[in-house]
Homo-oligomer: A and B are copies of this chain.
Protein backbone atom coordinates (compact mmCIF):
# COMPACT_ATOMS: atom_id res chain seq x y z
CA UNK A 1 0.00 0.00 0.00
CA UNK A 2 2.78 2.38 0.86
CA UNK A 3 3.84 2.19 -2.76
CA UNK A 4 0.51 3.46 -3.86
CA UNK A 5 -0.65 6.00 -1.31
CA UNK A 6 1.00 9.32 -0.64
CA UNK A 7 -1.33 10.70 1.99
CA UNK A 8 -4.16 9.00 3.81
CA UNK A 9 -6.59 10.95 5.91
CA UNK A 10 -7.98 9.41 9.07
CA UNK A 11 -10.91 11.28 10.55
CA UNK A 12 -11.95 10.59 14.11
CA UNK A 13 -8.34 9.71 14.79
CA UNK A 14 -8.56 10.57 18.48
CA UNK A 15 -11.16 7.91 19.17
CA UNK A 16 -10.50 4.40 20.43
CA UNK A 17 -10.68 2.96 16.92
CA UNK A 18 -8.79 5.91 15.43
CA UNK A 19 -6.00 5.44 17.92
CA UNK A 20 -5.55 1.79 17.00
CA UNK A 21 -5.49 2.55 13.28
CA UNK A 22 -3.12 5.50 13.75
CA UNK A 23 -0.63 3.07 15.19
CA UNK A 24 -1.19 0.18 12.83
CA UNK A 25 -1.23 2.23 9.64
CA UNK A 26 2.01 3.96 10.53
CA UNK A 27 4.34 3.67 7.58
CA UNK A 28 1.70 2.27 5.21
CA UNK A 29 1.38 5.61 3.42
CA UNK A 30 3.74 8.47 2.80
CA UNK A 31 1.87 10.62 5.29
CA UNK A 32 -1.00 9.94 7.67
CA UNK A 33 -3.12 13.03 8.06
CA UNK A 34 -4.92 12.73 11.39
CA UNK A 35 -7.98 14.73 12.24
CA UNK A 36 -10.46 15.05 15.09
CA UNK A 37 -12.21 17.65 17.21
CA UNK A 38 -10.50 16.13 20.25
CA UNK A 39 -6.83 16.45 21.04
CA UNK A 40 -4.54 14.22 19.00
CA UNK A 41 -1.27 14.98 20.75
CA UNK A 42 1.83 15.80 18.76
CA UNK A 43 2.39 14.53 15.23
CA UNK A 44 4.73 11.56 15.04
CA UNK A 45 6.99 10.74 12.17
CA UNK A 46 5.05 10.47 8.94
CA UNK A 47 2.02 12.10 10.56
CA UNK A 48 0.36 15.46 10.24
CA UNK A 49 -2.35 16.75 12.56
CA UNK A 50 -5.30 18.74 11.19
CA UNK A 51 -8.00 19.48 13.75
CA UNK A 52 -11.38 19.80 12.10
CA UNK A 53 -15.05 19.93 12.97
CA UNK A 54 -16.86 17.74 10.42
CA UNK A 55 -19.89 20.01 10.57
CA UNK A 56 -17.83 22.82 9.06
CA UNK A 57 -17.97 22.31 5.32
CA UNK A 58 -15.21 24.71 4.39
CA UNK A 59 -12.87 23.19 6.95
CA UNK A 60 -13.59 19.71 5.68
CA UNK A 61 -12.77 20.81 2.16
CA UNK A 62 -9.35 21.97 3.34
CA UNK A 63 -8.88 18.80 5.33
CA UNK A 64 -9.39 16.52 2.36
CA UNK A 65 -7.22 18.45 -0.08
CA UNK A 66 -4.11 16.55 -1.11
CA UNK A 67 -5.18 13.13 0.21
CA UNK A 68 -5.38 10.10 -2.03
CA UNK A 69 -7.30 7.97 0.44
CA UNK A 70 -9.71 8.60 3.33
CA UNK A 71 -10.58 6.44 6.32
CA UNK A 72 -13.65 8.12 7.70
CA UNK A 73 -14.11 7.14 11.33
CA UNK A 74 -15.21 10.58 12.46
CA UNK A 75 -18.58 11.29 14.01
CA UNK A 76 -20.72 9.91 16.81
CA UNK A 77 -20.38 6.15 17.34
CA UNK A 78 -23.02 5.43 19.97
CA UNK A 79 -26.61 6.46 20.51
CA UNK A 80 -26.97 10.17 21.14
CA UNK A 81 -29.49 12.95 20.65
CA UNK A 82 -30.60 13.89 17.17
CA UNK A 83 -28.78 17.24 17.40
CA UNK A 84 -25.43 15.66 18.07
CA UNK A 85 -25.91 13.00 15.45
CA UNK A 86 -27.12 15.49 12.89
CA UNK A 87 -24.01 17.67 13.11
CA UNK A 88 -21.45 14.90 13.06
CA UNK A 89 -23.05 12.04 11.13
CA UNK A 90 -25.48 13.69 8.71
CA UNK A 91 -23.96 17.05 7.89
CA UNK A 92 -20.49 15.66 8.52
CA UNK A 93 -20.85 12.91 5.93
CA UNK A 94 -22.34 15.29 3.40
CA UNK A 95 -19.40 17.63 3.95
CA UNK A 96 -16.91 14.82 3.53
CA UNK A 97 -18.32 13.64 0.22
CA UNK A 98 -18.52 17.18 -1.11
CA UNK A 99 -14.92 17.70 -0.12
CA UNK A 100 -13.82 14.50 -1.81
CA UNK A 101 -15.69 15.51 -4.94
CA UNK A 102 -13.87 18.84 -4.93
CA UNK A 103 -10.49 17.17 -4.60
CA UNK A 104 -10.22 14.35 -7.12
CA UNK A 105 -12.45 11.79 -5.45
CA UNK A 106 -9.95 9.81 -3.38
CA UNK A 107 -11.34 6.45 -2.25
CA UNK A 108 -13.26 6.53 1.01
CA UNK A 109 -13.43 3.81 3.63
CA UNK A 110 -16.62 4.76 5.41
CA UNK A 111 -17.09 3.38 8.91
CA UNK A 112 -20.68 2.28 8.82
CA UNK A 113 -22.11 0.01 11.48
CA UNK A 114 -23.96 -3.19 12.33
CA UNK A 115 -26.51 -0.90 13.95
CA UNK A 116 -27.93 -0.23 10.49
CA UNK A 117 -29.35 -3.78 10.73
CA UNK A 118 -29.48 -4.20 14.50
CA UNK A 119 -33.07 -5.45 14.76
CA UNK A 120 -32.37 -8.57 12.76
CA UNK A 121 -32.27 -11.56 15.06
CA UNK A 122 -29.04 -13.35 15.80
CA UNK A 123 -30.42 -16.54 14.26
CA UNK A 124 -30.61 -14.83 10.85
CA UNK A 125 -27.81 -14.86 8.31
CA UNK A 126 -27.53 -11.64 6.36
CA UNK A 127 -25.88 -10.92 3.07
CA UNK A 128 -25.53 -7.61 1.28
CA UNK A 129 -29.19 -7.61 0.28
CA UNK A 130 -30.55 -7.66 3.83
CA UNK A 131 -33.03 -4.87 4.47
CA UNK A 132 -32.09 -2.14 6.89
CA UNK A 133 -33.37 -2.56 10.43
CA UNK A 134 -31.72 0.27 12.40
CA UNK A 135 -31.69 -0.04 16.17
CA UNK A 136 -30.98 3.62 17.02
CA UNK A 137 -30.81 7.12 15.59
CA UNK A 138 -27.11 6.35 15.32
CA UNK A 139 -27.93 3.39 13.07
CA UNK A 140 -30.25 5.62 11.02
CA UNK A 141 -27.42 8.11 10.54
CA UNK A 142 -25.19 5.37 9.13
CA UNK A 143 -27.92 4.43 6.65
CA UNK A 144 -27.92 8.07 5.61
CA UNK A 145 -24.16 7.89 5.10
CA UNK A 146 -24.39 4.74 2.99
CA UNK A 147 -27.03 6.43 0.86
CA UNK A 148 -24.85 9.50 0.32
CA UNK A 149 -21.97 7.23 -0.73
CA UNK A 150 -24.21 5.39 -3.22
CA UNK A 151 -25.45 8.71 -4.64
CA UNK A 152 -21.94 10.02 -5.18
CA UNK A 153 -20.95 6.76 -6.84
CA UNK A 154 -23.87 6.72 -9.24
CA UNK A 155 -23.70 10.43 -9.98
CA UNK A 156 -19.95 11.10 -9.99
CA UNK A 157 -18.11 7.79 -9.84
CA UNK A 158 -16.77 8.33 -6.30
CA UNK A 159 -15.68 4.92 -4.99
CA UNK A 160 -16.32 3.89 -1.38
CA UNK A 161 -16.10 0.89 0.89
CA UNK A 162 -19.01 0.88 3.34
CA UNK A 163 -17.71 -1.11 6.28
CA UNK A 164 -20.43 -2.18 8.67
CA UNK A 165 -18.20 -2.54 11.67
CA UNK A 166 -19.16 -5.15 14.26
CA UNK A 167 -17.06 -4.72 17.39
CA UNK A 168 -13.55 -3.46 16.77
CA UNK A 169 -11.73 -4.06 20.02
CA UNK A 170 -8.40 -5.61 20.92
CA UNK A 171 -10.11 -8.86 21.80
CA UNK A 172 -13.70 -10.14 22.01
CA UNK A 173 -15.20 -9.40 25.39
CA UNK A 174 -18.59 -11.08 25.56
CA UNK A 175 -20.80 -13.73 23.98
CA UNK A 176 -22.16 -11.44 21.27
CA UNK A 177 -18.66 -10.52 20.14
CA UNK A 178 -18.05 -14.14 19.21
CA UNK A 179 -19.93 -13.12 16.08
CA UNK A 180 -19.23 -9.40 15.83
CA UNK A 181 -15.54 -9.16 16.68
CA UNK A 182 -13.48 -7.31 14.10
CA UNK A 183 -9.83 -7.45 15.01
CA UNK A 184 -7.80 -4.29 14.38
CA UNK A 185 -5.42 -6.31 12.22
CA UNK A 186 -8.27 -7.46 10.04
CA UNK A 187 -9.52 -3.89 9.72
CA UNK A 188 -6.06 -2.86 8.59
CA UNK A 189 -5.90 -5.62 5.99
CA UNK A 190 -9.32 -4.53 4.76
CA UNK A 191 -8.11 -0.95 4.35
CA UNK A 192 -5.05 -2.12 2.45
CA UNK A 193 -7.19 -4.28 0.22
CA UNK A 194 -9.55 -1.43 -0.55
CA UNK A 195 -6.80 0.99 -1.48
CA UNK A 196 -4.98 -1.58 -3.60
CA UNK A 197 -7.86 -2.91 -5.69
CA UNK A 198 -8.04 -1.81 -9.34
CA UNK A 199 -11.80 -1.38 -9.08
CA UNK A 200 -13.75 -0.84 -5.87
CA UNK A 201 -17.12 0.50 -6.87
CA UNK A 202 -19.39 1.32 -3.94
CA UNK A 203 -19.15 -1.87 -1.97
CA UNK A 204 -20.57 -2.77 1.42
CA UNK A 205 -18.39 -4.99 3.58
CA UNK A 206 -19.35 -6.58 6.85
CA UNK A 207 -16.61 -5.56 9.23
CA UNK A 208 -15.99 -8.78 11.13
CA UNK A 209 -13.12 -11.19 11.49
CA UNK A 210 -13.10 -14.77 10.31
CA UNK A 211 -15.21 -15.84 13.27
CA UNK A 212 -16.60 -19.35 13.61
CA UNK A 213 -19.77 -17.75 14.88
CA UNK A 214 -21.06 -15.50 12.16
CA UNK A 215 -24.17 -13.73 10.96
CA UNK A 216 -22.76 -11.99 7.93
CA UNK A 217 -21.88 -13.13 4.45
CA UNK A 218 -19.24 -11.15 2.56
CA UNK A 219 -19.07 -13.42 -0.47
CA UNK A 220 -20.52 -10.73 -2.77
CA UNK A 221 -17.21 -8.89 -2.25
CA UNK A 222 -14.88 -11.79 -2.94
CA UNK A 223 -13.70 -9.86 -5.97
CA UNK A 224 -11.63 -7.73 -3.58
CA UNK A 225 -9.75 -10.73 -2.26
CA UNK A 226 -9.96 -9.65 1.37
CA UNK A 227 -9.48 -12.54 3.80
CA UNK A 228 -9.75 -11.76 7.51
CA UNK A 229 -7.48 -13.97 9.58
CA UNK A 230 -8.56 -13.67 13.21
CA UNK A 231 -11.26 -15.72 14.87
CA UNK A 232 -13.18 -14.81 17.99
CA UNK A 233 -13.66 -18.51 18.71
CA UNK A 234 -10.09 -18.58 19.98
CA UNK A 235 -11.43 -16.65 22.94
CA UNK A 236 -14.64 -18.62 23.38
CA UNK A 237 -13.51 -20.77 26.27
CA UNK A 238 -12.27 -17.76 28.16
CA UNK A 239 -15.53 -15.90 27.59
CA UNK A 240 -17.57 -18.93 28.63
CA UNK A 241 -15.56 -19.05 31.85
CA UNK A 242 -15.67 -15.40 32.72
CA UNK A 243 -18.85 -13.90 31.28
CA UNK A 244 -22.30 -15.10 32.36
CA UNK A 245 -24.21 -16.63 29.46
CA UNK A 246 -27.22 -14.44 28.58
CA UNK A 247 -30.68 -15.92 28.34
CA UNK A 248 -32.04 -16.52 24.81
CA UNK A 249 -34.46 -13.60 24.97
CA UNK A 250 -32.17 -10.93 26.36
CA UNK A 251 -31.52 -8.25 23.73
CA UNK A 252 -27.80 -9.01 23.77
CA UNK A 253 -28.56 -12.59 22.66
CA UNK A 254 -31.64 -11.96 20.56
CA UNK A 255 -30.78 -9.05 18.27
CA UNK A 256 -27.72 -8.48 16.16
CA UNK A 257 -27.54 -4.92 17.44
CA UNK A 258 -27.50 -6.17 21.03
CA UNK A 259 -28.18 -3.62 23.75
CA UNK A 260 -28.62 -0.77 21.28
CA UNK A 261 -32.11 -2.16 20.73
CA UNK A 262 -32.79 -1.31 24.36
CA UNK A 263 -31.60 2.28 24.14
CA UNK A 264 -34.21 5.02 24.46
CA UNK A 265 -34.34 8.01 22.13
CA UNK A 266 -32.02 10.59 23.69
CA UNK A 267 -33.41 14.02 24.32
CA UNK A 268 -31.84 16.81 22.34
Contact = CB atoms under 8 A, between A and B. Distances in A.
Given A134-B151, A143-B147, A225-B213, A198 B247 contact: yes
A139 interface: yes
Given A134-B150, A199-B254, A222 B125 contact: yes
Nearest to A154: B119
Contacts of A91: 82, 86
Contacts of A217: 219
Given A199-B254, A220-B125, A147 B150 contact: no
A3 B151 CA distance: 39
B151 A137 contact: yes
Q: Which of A135, A144, A199, A245 has the most CB of B within 10 A?
A: A199
Contacts of A211: 225
A129 interface: yes
Contact of A225 (B236, B245, B246, B248): B236
Interface in A177-228: 178-179, 196, 198-201, 203, 211-215, 217, 219-227
A245 B123 CA distance: 34
Nearest to A83: B91
Interface in A87-137: 90-91, 94, 98, 101, 119, 121-125, 129, 131-137
Contacts of A101: 265
Copies held by the complex: 6
Interface in A248-265: 248-250, 253-254, 261, 265
Contacts of A175: 198
Nearest to A214: B222
B248 A198 contact: yes
Contact of A179 (B179, B223, B245, B248): B223
B122 A199 contact: yes
A62 B148 CA distance: 32
27 contacts: A57-B268, A86-B91, A119-B150, A121-B201, A122-B223, A125-B221, A125-B222, A136-B151, A137-B148, A137-B151, A143-B143, A143-B144, A175-B198, A178-B225, A198-B246, A198-B247, A198-B250, A198-B253, A199-B253, A200-B248, A201-B248, A212-B227, A213-B222, A213-B223, A214-B225, A217-B219, A227-B233
10 A-B pairs with least C-beta separation: A213-B225, A198-B253, A212-B225, A199-B248, A119-B154, A214-B222, A123-B201, A140-B147, A143-B147, A199-B253
